[in-house]
Amino acid sequence: MAKPRLLTGGNPQIPKGLGDAPVRAYIDALEGWKRQACEDLDRVISRSIPGVRKAVKWNSPFYGPAGGDYVVSYHVMTRYVKVAFFAGASLDPPPPEGSKDPSTRYLHVSEKAPLDEARLADWCRQASALPGFGKVAD
């Protein structure tokens, strides 16, 4: 099987799909610190969202609770992985990076700004109880 094409910033071009397989394909297409960062994100998010459901849409992994909305996603950029919380402004404390959408907040993970797993897990638990973006298919 051919390795997916990497888009600008190193983000893999993965066909949209539901479940763990497309998310796994996304992560497997990455290399170096970006792959490790996304492995860590997937592990922490998956453990922290009750009944987690996964998908790839728009070349990005999305996560949400069973029967709920997608609440968190990430996308590989050149210098960091951009983690989006769709109701991030309602999290306590909110993730540090703002968005054009006043509800959305971002966390940037990079080689120089490693993942705070405890903080991410807390945000994921909080987010899973809030409205997000689009229904998670069962």
Helix or strand (DSSP H, E) at 127? helix 117-127
Residue 16 domain-assigned (yes or no): yes
**What pLDDT does residue 68 have?**
87
Residue 5 domain-assigned (yes or no): no
How many structural domains comprise the chain?
1
Residue 6 domain-assigned (yes or no): no
Residue 136 domain-assigned (yes or no): no
User: Exposure pattern of 60-85 as b/e (b: 16+ CB <10 Å)?
Assistant: bbbbbbeebbbbbbbbbeeebbbbbb
Residue 2 domain-assigned (yes or no): no
Helices 117-127 and 32-48, axial angle in degrees (round to 10): 50
Each residue of 8-39: pLDDT tens digit? 777 898 899 999 999 999 999 999 999 999 99
pTM of the predicted structure, to 2 decimals: 0.92
58, exposed or middle or buried, with CB in 10 Å at 0-12, 13-18, 19+?
Answer: exposed
What's 55's domain CATH number?
3.90.1150
Domain coverage including residue 113: 11-130
Q: Are 4 and 47 in contact (CB under 8 A)?
A: no
